[in-house]
Structure formats: structure tokens, C-alpha cells
């Protein structure tokens, strides 16, 4: 992805209150991106869904097949 595309995605996420961007204290050209509360909730929910999906398929296929799938 280009830096411009990433910048647009980050602006959109910031507008939706998922992240907060700020200027880095040590390098004014760099930006720090931090998850806001809403972003943290989304990240945790996403991890939960991935865990549930892996558990579901672990019951359906062999462990080696699941590892290969990952």
C-alpha cells in the first residue's frame, strides 16, 4: 500500500473514532497512531471471532490441517 492510501485509511478510522493520530515527539515528520476505546473494543472483538473460528475448525479437521490452513 502507498503511504497516501494508508493516510486515507487512518483519516477515515480517526473520523470514526477508532484511532487517534498525533505528531511524534522525537520526529516531527512521524505520526503516532493509538487505538481509542472504540478501536480497542473492535480489536478485542476481532480477536474473539478469530479464536472462535479457529476453535470451530479445530473440531472439524486435524490439528495439522488447521495449522496448514493458518
pLDDT digits (tens, 9 = 90+) for 26-53: 998 999 999 999 999 999 999 999 999 8
User: Are 26 and 51 within one domain?
Assistant: no
% of the chain surpassing 90 pLDDT: 67
Whether residue 59 has pLDDT greater than 90: no
Residue 30 near residue 24, CB atoms below 8 Å: yes
Look up residue 15 and give its three cell numbers. 473520523
User: Are 48 and 20 within one domain?
Assistant: no
User: Are 1 and 31 within one domain?
Assistant: yes
Q: How many residues does the chain have?
A: 70
Look up residue 38 and give its three cell numbers. 472504540
User: Are 28 and 51 within one domain?
Assistant: no
- Domain residues for the domain of 7 are 1-35
Q: How many domains does the chain have?
A: 2
Amino acid at each position: 500500500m502507498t503511504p497516501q492510501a494508508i493516510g486515507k485509511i487512518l483519516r477515515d478510522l480517526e473520523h470514526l473514532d477508532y484511532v487517534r493520530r498525533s505528531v511524534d515527539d522525537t520526529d516531527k515528520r512521524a505520526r503516532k497512531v493509538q487505538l481509542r476505546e472504540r478501536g480497542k473494543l473492535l480489536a478485542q472483538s476481532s480477536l474473539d471471532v478469530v479464536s472462535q473460528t479457529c476453535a470451530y475448525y479445530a473440531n472439524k479437521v486435524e490439528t495439522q490441517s488447521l495449522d496448514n490452513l493458518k
